[in-house]
Amino acid sequence: MFRAFRFIVDLFTQRHGIIAFVFFLLVGLLMRQAPNFVKENIVSSILGTVLYPAQMAISSLDAYRSVVAENEQLKQENARLRQETYYASEGLQELTRLHALVRFDDKWGYPIVTARVVGHNPGRFLTTMIINRGTHHGVKENMPVFSMNGLVGKVTKVSYGYARVQLLVDPNLKLSVLERRTRVVGFLESVDGHMLMAMVPTHAGVKAGDTLITSGLGGIFPKGIPVGTVSAVREADLDVMRQMYVVPFQEFSTLEEVFVMEKEPDWIIQELLDD
């Protein structure tokens, strides 16, 4: 059928007018003498030959449009599923945090305020951060701040809707800690805004891998909040003391959410310590 179409086209493109005229004349005479079913077959063949390329083009265009539409639909469906997966993952993490928060709340018996980190200090080392809770939410100065991993620091300045948190690595923050295994008490501090260390008696037997928690001394932090792990123990300037290097449980640069414990300082203890 396609060859017949090409033959007809060649007759006209090569300008063989006489041959074309004779050809169509013979076809006309044959069709006039031929039975009706033969005429119908010839007409059907000619129409099929002429219309076949157009039909193929239209069919291909429709198929292309269908593929494009289906591809676009699949992209939208994929984006929707990815978004739903993300929300489900965030919801699961939120549920885990809430379960852990309930354990914190029950352990110390103080109300807890959930806050999000909205700003960091612009210095070389991360020593303070800003949270989106303030006096309007019950937050006050010197309230402990912690995360699911452990102690973060304390509130040092409060406005109506925001508060500044002093982190453990701030050299101005001194913390009384208790080593969980030996029960020895030491004072934790940062000397450079980055590394944490504490001094303990030599006879205490503290070693690398031991765990530090808040001791409850000082009147600000309750006893038992996880602080960090002893990474190394070295000799100090005094023979009777040892220097502990501590890795905090919480990585401060990754904090997104913290919890403020609505525990006001015990000023009687604080005044006695100051005296």
For residue 214, tell me if it sits in a domain.
Answer: yes
Q: pLDDT at position 212, please?
A: 94
Residues 163 and 180 in one domain: no
For residue 141, tell me if it sits in a domain.
Answer: yes
CA 114/CA 242 separation, integer angstroms: 38
Q: pLDDT at position 96, please?
A: 66
pTM: 0.62
Give how far Cα 84 sits from Cα of 16, 80, 232, Å: 70, 6, 45
What average pLDDT does the structure give for the chain?
Answer: 77
For residue 70, tell me if it sits in a domain.
Answer: no
The token pair at 249 is 């449980």
The CATH number given to whatever domain includes residue 199 is: 2.40.10.350
Residue type at position 198: A
Residues 179 and 163 in one domain: no
For residue 48, tell me if it sits in a domain.
Answer: no
CA 221/CA 108 separation, integer angstroms: 11
Cα atoms found within 13 Å of the Cα of residue 57, Cβ hemisphere only: 5
Residues 155 and 216 in one domain: no
Most confident of 7-16, 19-28, 116-125: 116-125
Task: Please give the residue that has the higher pLDDT: either 5 or 65.
Answer: 65
For residue 269, tell me if it sits in a domain.
Answer: no
Task: Please give the residue that has the higher pLDDT: either 108 or 137.
Answer: 137
Q: pLDDT at position 119, please?
A: 92
Tell me the residue length of the chain: 275
What's the average model confidence in pLDDT over 135-141? 93
Indicate whether 164 pLDDT > 90. Answer: yes
CA 165/CA 156 separation, integer angstroms: 6
The CATH number given to whatever domain includes residue 162 is: 2.40.10.340
Residues 184 and 149 in one domain: no
CB of 198 closer than 8 Å to CB of 244: yes
CA 8/CA 13 separation, integer angstroms: 9
- pLDDT tens, residue by residue, 166-215: 999 999 998 999 999 989 998 899 888 788 998 888 888 888 999 999 99
CA 36/CA 42 separation, integer angstroms: 10
Indicate whether 44 pLDDT > 70. Answer: no
Q: pLDDT at position 73, please?
A: 78
Q: pLDDT at position 219, please?
A: 83
List 78's β-bridge partners, or say none.
none
- pLDDT tens, residue by residue, 72-101: 777 777 777 777 676 666 666 666 666 665
For residue 245, tell me if it sits in a domain.
Answer: yes
Q: How many domains does the chain have?
A: 2
Residue type at position 117: V
For residue 186, tell me if it sits in a domain.
Answer: yes
Give the range of the structural domain holding residue 143, as residue numbers without chain letter: 111-167
Please give the angle made by the CA atoms of 231, 206 and 151, to the nearest 5 degrees. 55
For residue 227, tell me if it sits in a domain.
Answer: yes
Residues 188 and 227 in one domain: yes
Residues 158 and 123 in one domain: yes
Residue type at position 176: S
Indicate whether 5 pLDDT > 60. Answer: no
Residues 183 and 162 in one domain: no
CA 257/CA 238 separation, integer angstroms: 41
Residues 187 and 155 in one domain: no
Question: Which single residue is written with the structure tokens 């701030």?
Answer: 170
3-class SS of residue 216: coil
Give how far Cα 48 sits from Cα of 55, 149, 214, 256, Å: 9, 77, 91, 70
Q: pLDDT at position 137, please?
A: 92
Residues 140 and 183 in one domain: no
